[in-house]
Structure 1
Amino acid sequence: AEVGRYAERTERPAADVRARLEKEGGLSRLYTGLRREKTVAFLLSRATGIEEG
């Protein structure tokens, strides 16, 4: 899904974007970033009683 969104933004075919990411090792970085974002979002959704400062 992320590859498709990136392809749309750059006006390139998704297959070309995926192939380039795979070739340059970017696909694993993309998945790692997505995993991190989802983890943070999950933790923030479950956080209670946390005060700033």
Structure 2
Amino acid sequence: MRRFHPSGVLCRTGACSATIEGRPAYFDNNHLAASASEFWSRIFDDFDLPTGRHEP
């Protein structure tokens, strides 16, 4: 199983960013913000995460 860690994206320069493209990265201390959903969608597409859908 592959795991996704947002810190791998947010902390690439050694310092973690609290914003993504000028929007908050997190809603609270444990949840990604909906305002950055388009950004995360692109990241998840690149990461090739399973959709959770089962093919017949």
Sort the TM-score into its range (normalised by shorter chain): 0.3 to 0.5
Q: Which has the higher helix share?
A: 1
Q: Highest CA radius of gyration, 1 or 2? A: 1
TM-score under structure 2 length normalisation: 0.34
The structure whose RCO (Cα within 8 Å, separation 6+) is larger is 2
Q: Which has the higher strand share?
A: 2
TM-score under structure 1 length normalisation: 0.35
